[in-house]
C-alpha cells in the first residue's frame, strides 16, 4: 500500500464539486466553514464554472485557510470528486453538493460516532427540501452499529437510496480498494455507494443531524435527457451485477430495480413518458412535467 495513504493531516476532508452554482454556493460553504468539527479541510473543485462560482470560492478562501481550491475544465461531477479524493489528507472523507447544505454539527457527530466505535463509515439522515417544504428521505431515531452486509444495505436503504453525501468514509479503505467514481456518466453515486458499504468495515447510524438536499430542477441530474435515462439504467444494472457477485440480497426481484421507460410520440414529439421502477410508475407530460405518481404495495 502507498505509504501516503496512512498519513492523515486532519480529521475529515470535505469534497465539494462546483459547477455554475452561484445562487446557492454561499449557503453551502457557510454550512461547512461553520461546522463544530473544526479540524477539517474543505476541497472546492471548480469544474469549469462560467458564472461567479469561482469568485465566491476565492472570496471564502481568503477568509478560511482550510479551503483548498482545484480548478479544472468542465469534466463533470465524478471527475471533480475523484480529483478531490486524490489530494485529500483527512482520516475520513465527506462529500457535499454545492446546492445543498449540512447541519452545523453534522460532521462532528458523524466523525465522533465512527472514531469512537472504530468503524469505517457513519451515516446520517437526509432531508429533501424546496422552499419551506421538507421531507425526510432517511431518518434515524437510534444509534445502530452494523457489520452484517445485508443489514448494512437495509439500514442505508440500498438500492433505492444510493446517497453518497449523507455519509463519511475512512479514506484509507477507499483508496486501498481503489474506490473512485465512474467518470463521464450520471448517477455515479449508485455504483460507488454499494461498493463503499460492501468494502468498508461496519457502519453506525447517527440520529439528530441531517444532510439537507435541495430539490433543484435545474441540477444536472434533474434535467431529462436520453443519456441521463440510459446512464440511470446502466447504473442500476451495474449495481445488480455487483450485488449478485457478492451475494447481496434485496427485497424485490432483480428486474424490479431496472428502470423501464415507455415513450408515446406523435409527429416526432414525445407527448407522454412512463417510467417504472420497483413498485412505482410515473407519468411525465412532454417528458418533463410529472403529472401522476402511482405506487403499488406488494
Do the beta carbons of residue 93 and residue 84 sit within 8 Å? no
Per the prediction, the chain carries an average pLDDT of 89
Q: What pLDDT is stored for residue 2 in this prediction? A: 47
Burial of 115 (0-12, 13-18, 19+ CB in 10 A): middle
Q: Is the pLDDT of residue 1 over 50?
A: no
The CATH superfamily of 3-214 is Spore Coat Polysaccharide Biosynthesis Protein SpsA; Chain A (3.90.550.10)
Nearest CA-CA partner of 162 in 208, 195, 134: 195
The DSSP H or E segment spanning 286 is none
Instruction: Quickly count: other Cβ atoms within 10 Å of residue 42's Cβ.
Output: 26
101 grid coordinates: 447544505
Q: According to DSSP H, which parts of the chain are helical?
A: 22-33, 53-63, 77-87, 106-116, 149-155, 171-176, 188-199, 226-245
Residue-wise pLDDT for 104-161, tens only, equals 999 999 999 999 999 999 999 999 998 888 999 999 999 999 999 999 999 999 988 8
Residue-wise pLDDT for 57-100, tens only, equals 999 999 999 999 999 999 999 999 999 999 999 999 999 999 99
Specify whether the backbone of 97 is left (phi greater than 0), alpha (psi in -120 to 50) or beta: beta
Amino acid at each position: 500500500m502507498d505509504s501516503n495513504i496512512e498519513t492523515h493531516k486532519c480529521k475529515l476532508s470535505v469534497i465539494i464539486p462546483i459547477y455554475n452554482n452561484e445562487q446557492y454556493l454561499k449557503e453551502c460553504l457557510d454550512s461547512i466553514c461553520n461546522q463544530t468539527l473544526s479540524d477539517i479541510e474543505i476541497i472546492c473543485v471548480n469544474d469549469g464554472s462560467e458564472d461567479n462560482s469561482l469568485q465566491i470560492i476565492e472570496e471564502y478562501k481568503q477568509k478560511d485557510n482550510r479551503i483548498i481550491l482545484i480548478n479544472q475544465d468542465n469534466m463533470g461531477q465524478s471527475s471533480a470528486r475523484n480529483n478531490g479524493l486524490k489530494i485529500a489528507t483527512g482520516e475520513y472523507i465527506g462529500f457535499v453538493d454545492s446546492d445543498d447544505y449540512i447541519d452545523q454539527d453534522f460532521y462532528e457527530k458523524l466523525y465522533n460516532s465512527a472514531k469512537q466505535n472504530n468503524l469505517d463509515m457513519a451515516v446520517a439522515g437526509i432531508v429533501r427540501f424546496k422552499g419551506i417544504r421538507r421531507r425526510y428521505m432517511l431518518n434515524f431515531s437510534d444509534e445502530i452499529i452494523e457489520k452484517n452486509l445485508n443489514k448494512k444495505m437495509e439500514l442505508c436503504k440500498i438500492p433505492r437510496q444510493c446517497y453518497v453525501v449523507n455519509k463519511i468514509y475512512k479514506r484509507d479503505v477507499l483508496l486501498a480498494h481503489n474506490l473512485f467514481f465512474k467518470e463521464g456518466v450520471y448517477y455515479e453515486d449508485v455504483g460507488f455507494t454499494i461498493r463503499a458499504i460492501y468494502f468498508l468495515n461496519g457502519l453506525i447510524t447517527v440520529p439528530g443531524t441531517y444532510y439537507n438536499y435541495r430539490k433543484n430542477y435545474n441540477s444536472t441530474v434533474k434535467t431529462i435527457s436520453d443519456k441521463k435515462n440510459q446512464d440511470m439504467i446502466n447504473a442500476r444494472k451495474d449495481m445488480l451485477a455487483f450485488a449478485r457477485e457478492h451475494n447481496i440480497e434485496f427485497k424485490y426481484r432483480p428486474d424490479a430495480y431496472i428502470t423501464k421507460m415507455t415513450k408515446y410520440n406523435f409527429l416526432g414529439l414525445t407527448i407522454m413518458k412512463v417510467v417504472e421502477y420497483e413498485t412505482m410508475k410515473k407519468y411525465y407530460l412532454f417528458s418533463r412535467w410529472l403529472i401522476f405518481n402511482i405506487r403499488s404495495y406488494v
